[in-house]
């Protein structure tokens, strides 16, 4: 599904925010985990084509970083 957007970045931000309100918070968390070495990508690819990684976050960070999606 592709959303039609106008030339305004504000409109795009509103659309993204309506689908995924915590995107900025979750993205900052992910960047922090990568920069701090809590998530480390390996050179090997996994069976699904992505990269394998070591997840060195605490259990609390893993729980708080988990996003639950629901069908509406």
Cα–Cα distance for residue pair 23/21, rounded to 1 Å: 6
Contacts of residue 14, Cβ cutoff 8 Å, sequence gap at least 6: none
pLDDT on residue 68: 47
- Tens digit of each residue's pLDDT (9 = 90 or more) over 45-57: 877 778 888 999 8
- Tens digit of each residue's pLDDT (9 = 90 or more) over 17-72: 888 888 888 888 888 889 999 999 988 787 777 888 899 988 887 887 654 444 44
**Helices and strands of the chain, counted as H and E runs:** 3, 2
Higher-pLDDT residue of 10, 7: 10
pLDDT on residue 69: 44
């Amino acid at each position: 599904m592709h959303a039609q957007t106008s030339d305004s970045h504000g409109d795009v931000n509103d659309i993204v925010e309506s689908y995924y309100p915590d995107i900025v918070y979750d993205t900052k968390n992910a960047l922090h985990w990568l920069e701090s070495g809590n998530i480390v990508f390996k050179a090997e690819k996994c069976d699904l084509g992505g990269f394998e990684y070591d997840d060195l976050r605490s259990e609390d960070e893993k729980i708080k970083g988990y996003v639950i999606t629901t069908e509406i």
